[in-house]
Chains A and B, each alone.
Chain A
Amino acid sequence: MSKINDFVVKFANVNGSGSASANAMFAKSIFRMGIPVTPKNIFPSNIQGLPTWFEVRISKHGYAARREGIDCFITLNPQTYQTDVKEILPGGYLVYDNTMPRNFSRKDINYIGIPMASICAENYDDPRQRQLFKNIVCLGALAALLKIDIKIIESLIKEDFEKKPKLIPPNIKALYLGRDFALENLDCDLNVGLKKIRTTKKKILIQGNEAAGLGCVYGGATVVGWYPITPSTSLVEAFQKYVNLFRVKDNGEVSAGIIQAEDELAAVGMAIGANWNGARAFTATSGPGISLMSEFLGLAYFAEIPLVLFNIQRGGPSTGMPTRTQQSDILSCAYASHGDTKHILLFPSDPKECFEMAAQSFDLAEILQTPIIVMSDLDIGMNDWVIDPLQWNDKTSYERGKVLKKQDLDELMNWGRYLDVDGDGIPYRTLPGTHETKGSYFTRGTSHDAFAGYTEDGRINADNMMRITKKFKKSVKYLPKSVRRKAKKDTNIGLIYFGSTSVAIDEANDILESQGHATDLLRIRSFPFGRGISSFIDDHDHIIVMEQNRDAQMRSLLINELNKDSSKIHSILNFDGSPVTANFIVKAFLNLLKKNQVVFKSLKKKQSAA
């Protein structure tokens, strides 16, 4: 069976060995051949010496989830060899460096030896180069074995080393050394291979954090306080990069202030201070940072200060799996901070939505005067995704919300910072420096009346809390709506999912459909939940919530916030830190049907009635 444009390649490397750029070129060259590609970096929380993997799914159908079973494994790390070899599908290929002899146990796979170390030893003197160019020699050989257009790789090398042109010729030399070795010594007729198509011609290959950082530039963010933490750091780095590109005046002045804070407490404090003073400001972090920021989140919630916070989720609890992905901060973000607090959450499902939601979140924060938490994750944030090009409507103007200007204050008699004038729960705010005599007030985290005065009158405080609840409920109309997809046949099963799980759901649904199972789908894009989500649950006898955490946090949030019967809401949970696969979902779905007699019976009943 030939698997043209439909297979999985995996690289086993040692981190710090220079494999990352060769790996990236491998994926990008396939992308430039027009073929949908999904690379996943699987890396340790370490700088040098530990195993890393790079898994690349190639799918002419455009399936962008991970897929189990490796067709071609390039094993360059002896440490992990024993476990790596088990992942190869029968009939698959194992590519290795045969400079040193090796023993192989499996009889059902093919072995392809390339003497990468000895080729490099013969051709390069510098030991560092010998090490680095092994990766390029390997890439060259793969070009011959998998039929990658080598000209594309050549141009990628030229782009990569544009600033260090001296390195271009030795890299290209290594590339051809590898290719020539393969052509001359190996049978390059494999059952996996690539063929140019046009599917990704108009697309881009980009990481979610890159897109989100860019979205912040487009959304008009000017102030950032941040503290380094994987996997959120690259978002701020992207913001910095695009500020350098777009926001530096001819005289060198920069239209942004980016401060690496002393910790996450300070990072979010800076973002709050700047928003309070009328600048659009954000911070980005991951689980441990969310825990530290909680006190300040409560202040921003209660004092009603706009704030944008990106949570690029990683494996928890505690320091957890810092370089693996999860969706396990749903509850800790929805209810972050002590006392009665609730926060608006956005759930981007790919880099395109990271860009769009990042830009939109600044409008939302200012309209609603409250924190907006964008719930991305490591999988979206730090892996390359094939998406449609990013778009921007030049007519877009920023919605700055209810901020009173000097003239407004001149005309106003009885302004109160927390007065609900419009009945939507959203009060009017003022910025420092606006008016000589009017509009000043004291922002506080202590209980306050409608005029921002301190009060210990419990009724007044309760009224204020209820107004904030009203604002929160009404916020739904500004938030991204959920996306609903009806099955081709009528069904009483509804599947709910969100974020990075979406691509695996798309594929799983195709598989299930081909097996005769019909499921309606709903993708959540924001919290608080809109009416569409509530009616979707009501419209189905059985709901399955797919999420990447242990405790079914989204399920709990749905049941709690929408007051739904929990017995009909089931879970599919994946929390091993790897992005979920379609196969996993299909298996779990079928298990649910089998195990849960209730589901099965009523399903039959409905179907026979139909």
Chain B
Amino acid sequence: MSFIKKPSVHHPKLPTNALGLNRRDYEGALSTLCAGCGHDSVSSAIIEACYNLSIPAHKLAKLSGIGCSSKTPTYFLNKSHGFNSVHGRMPSVATGANLANRDLVYLGVSGDGDTASIGLGQFCHIIRRRLNMLYVVDNNGTYGLTKGQFSATNDKNSKSKKGEDNPFESIDLAALAIQLGAGFVARSFSGDKDQLIPLMTAALKYRGFAFIDVVSPCVTFNNHSQSTKSYEYFREHNEALGYLDVIPETEEIKVNYKEGSSAQVQMHDGSKMILHKLDKSHNLYDRGNSIKILNDHQTKGSIVTGLIYLDKEERDLHDTINSNQKPLNILTEKDLCPGSKGLDYVNASFR
């Protein structure tokens, strides 16, 4: 369908955000994914979150690997630069891009094949480095683009469309992310806008590595009755830890929330995140506890969603290496080149 040009008609009545932009301004090309693919809902949530936050699209860079999921950056934010890299290697490209210009917002979109198999190494290491970015996995438990092979996030008790058993243990990307030092780790479902959009919003604001594992069913290859990543299975087994609201610094807190079931977190830029916790026992600031919750639910066959782990101390790779506050890509020969004087000194040291 890519040959159909989307009409860019202006609708004067559409609501606008703080930049005076409407949702349309955050859209991308028309999706060429299968109708009903979960990934398209994730793209919509991204558009919604960026609109809500009034992010200037050109100040966001969207990066991806290879796969149906990795194609999606074409379908949102067409005023942003995009980089469709090689299979599983988006993290390294994002790392370089972020080092070059610390002032942009970095959004990575990947698939479960892209992240949990070929790119598992890069995924682990980008987390360890706490790159300042939001990393989203459209997790469908399968290799969509290569037509339905099992992926490493596919549950052991899940069957393929042809009825084959998956004999191998699955990788829980959220648990891995918590263990390796990600500061913001959430899981959600592509069909749950109410939960996904605020999570995206908060994650985009987080300074450090934010990860959202979005269960996003592949309607073509993994949405049958014996799959654990189908719409049906998910709706029956979802146990939400909570919902949240994100309130920009400039707005006063209007959202109603019940004391005792909610918590408020201030983010580095002054905005507030309000968590409506359904499960009061969940202490989301404790790594060990967060991993335990994931494990416990997995054993029960249920899928927890919501914000699973949060490190209130926001910090990123630039803090670690103490790099120039100015983006490195705007430095000039004046800042960078020690000139002939410097060379005199160096030459003398090799006499």
A interface list, Cβ under 8 A from B: 32, 204-206, 210, 214, 217-218, 220, 222-223, 225, 242, 245-247, 249, 252-259, 261-263, 265-279, 281, 295-296, 299, 389-394, 396-398, 430-437, 440-446, 454
Name the contact of B100 in the complex, choosing from A246, A278, A434 (C-beta under 8 A).
A278
Contact, CB under 8 Å: A276 / B83? yes
A434 touches B58 (CB 8 A): yes
Q: Are A222 and B81 in contact (CB under 8 A)?
A: no
B122 touches A266 (CB 8 A): yes
Within the assembled complex, what's the spacing in Å between the Cα atoms of A331 and B174? 43
Q: Given the interface contacts A273-B83, A445-B85, does A253 sit within 8 Å of B324 by beta carbon?
A: yes
A-B contact pairs, 5 of them (CB 8 A): A204-B350, A267-B92, A269-B85, A277-B104, A295-B86
Residue of B nearest to A384 (CB): B350
Please measure, in the bound complex, the distance between the C-alpha atom of A254 and the C-alpha atom of B61, giving whole angstroms: 24
CB distance from B76 to the nearest CB of A (A): 12
CB <8 Å contact, B99 and A279: yes
CB closest chain-A residue, reference B94: A273
Distance in angstroms from A233 CB to nearest chain B CB is 19
Q: Which of B61, B82, B324, B328 has the most CB of A within 10 A?
A: B328
A445 CA to B85 CA, complexed, in Å: 7
B60 to chain A, nearest CB (A): 8
Q: Quick one: closest A residue to B103, CB to CB?
A: A433
| Given A273-B83, A279-B329, A262:B323 Cβ within 8 A | no
**Contact B59 A433, beta carbon cutoff 8 Å:** yes
Cα separation A286 to B163 with both chains bound (whole Å): 47
Quick check: A273 and B338 within 8 Å, CB to CB?
no
Q: A277-B61, A277-B104 are in contact. List 6 more A-B contacts (CB 8 A).
A: A253-B325, A255-B324, A275-B96, A277-B96, A390-B346, A390-B347
Chain B residue at minimal CB-CB distance from A400: B332
Instruction: Check if B94 sits within 8 Å of A255, measured CB to CB.
Output: no
Given A432-B58, A445-B85, verify A254-B323 contact (CB < 8 Å): yes
User: Which 6 A-B residue pairs are closest in the complex by CB-CB distance?
Assistant: A273-B96, A269-B92, A279-B100, A274-B96, A273-B93, A278-B329
The contact size tier of chain B is 35 or more
* Residues of B32-62 whose CB lies within 8 A of A: 56-59, 61
| A225→B95 contact, CB < 8 A | yes
- Chain A residues with CB under 8 Å of B74's CB are 442, 454
- C-alpha spacing A312/B324, complex, angstroms: 30
Contacts of B170 in A (CB 8 A): none
- Give CA–CA (A397, B332) in the complex, Å: 9
Cα-based distance from A206 to B347 in the complex (angstroms): 9
Name the A residues within 8 Å of B340 (CB-CB).
391-394
Contact A389 B101 (CB under 8 A): no
Closest to B82 in A: A442
| Alpha-carbon distance A454/B93, docked complex (angstroms) | 20
* A225 contact set on B, CB distance < 8 A: 92, 95-96
With most chain B CB atoms within 10 A of its CB, the pick from A245, A271, A274 is: A274
Q: Using Cβ atoms and an 8 Å threshold, which residues of chain A touch B338? A: 217-218, 242, 245-246
Could you tell me if B337 and A220 are in contact, using CB atoms closer than 8 angstroms?
Answer: yes
List, in ascending order, chain B residues with CB within 8 A of A391's CB. 340, 343
Nearest CB of chain A from residue B148's CB, rounded to whole Å: 21
- CA A273 to CA B338, docked complex, whole Å: 25
B15 at the interface (CB under 8 A from A): no
Residues of chain A contacted by B101 (CB below 8 angstroms): 277-279, 432-433
Chain B residue at minimum C-beta to C-beta distance from A223:
B99
Report chain B residues within 8 Å CB of A257: 99-100, 317-318, 321, 323, 328
B260 CB–A CB distance under 8 Å = no
Contact (Cβ within 8 A) B79 A437: yes
Closest residue on chain A to residue B73 by CB atoms: A442
Q: Tell whether, in the assembled complex, residue B79 and residue A247 are in contact, meaning their CB atoms are under 8 Å apart.
A: no
B342 CB → nearest A CB, Å: 6
Given A296-B89, A394-B339, A445-B84, A431 and B329 contact (CB-CB distance below 8 Å): yes
Check B93–A270 contact: CB distance below 8 A.
Answer: yes
| Bound form: Cα–Cα A269–B121 in Å | 13
Task: List residues of chain B with CB within 8 A of the CB of A279.
Answer: 96, 99-101, 328-329
